[in-house]
Amino acid sequence: MSIDRRMLMRGAIACACCFKAGAAIASDAPAHGGAAAHWSYEGEGSPEKWGELQSDFKVCQLGLEQTPIDLGSGIKGDVGSVDYDYKPLLAGKNFDLECHFVHKASTGALAVTGVFIRPGAANAALKAFFESMPAKEGPEVRGGNTIDVGAVLPKSGGYFRYMGSLTTPPCSEGLTWTVHKEPIEASVEQIQKFAALFPKNARPVQKRNRRFLIDAS
C-alpha cells in the first residue's frame, strides 16, 4: 500500500471544503477518483511511467497542459481579483509543503488554488489537521473538526494563473490553476510530522509548452 502526500492535503482541506465535512487523513485510493492502477512517486510506478500504467492515464505522458510548471517568466496581466466564499461543513523555488484547494462547479469543471507553506509560526488554522494525522501508514483516519479554509489562505499578495491538469493520474487537463505568491507558515514540528509520513510525493515540473502563465501581481 502506498500513501500519497498530496492526496492527504487535498482530502483534509480541499475535499472537506468543497464537498462534505470531515477529512480523509490517509487513503490508498487514487486521488480525484482515479482508476485502481498502482502509481507512486518512485520505482515502477514513478511519474515518468504513469502514462504507461493504464490506457486512461495516457494524458499524463502525452498531454500538453500538465501540472506543475515552473512559475517563472510570467506575462504581467490583470485577470481580476480572486474571491473566495468558503462556508463550514461543505490547495524555480521549492517550498516545504503546498496545499491544494480543489473546486468543482455544477458543470463538473475543476479549478485549483495552490498555497505554498514555509517554516515559521505554528499554523492554528491547520492545527486540527496536523493533530489528527496518523503517525504511520494504516487505515483511513477522519479528522473530527472542521477546518476554516478561509483562515488558511494568504491575506495579501499576487498570484499566478494558468491552465493545467490534475497532478496525479489520470492527469486530466482543462483545469484553471491559481497559485498564490505569498506563502503561509507552519511550524517546523508540523512540517516534519507531515514529511515523516509522506517523505516524497511531488510530481516533477512539467513543460509549459505553448501555454500562457499570467502574473497577476
The lowest-confidence range among 11-25, 38-52, 96-110 is 11-25
- What is the per-residue pLDDT across 145-189, written as a single tens digit (0 to 9) for each? 778 888 999 988 899 999 999 999 999 999 999 999 999 999 999
Cα 207 from Cα 68, distance rounded (Å): 9
Closest C-alpha among 119, 126, 121 to residue 94? 119
Cα 155 versus chain centre, distance: 19
Closest C-alpha among 25, 55, 24 to residue 37? 55
- What is the per-residue pLDDT across 21-37, written as a single tens digit (0 to 9) for each? 222 222 333 334 444 57
12 class by beta-carbon count within 10 Å (0-12 exposed, 13-18 middle, 19+ buried) = buried
pLDDT for 23: 29
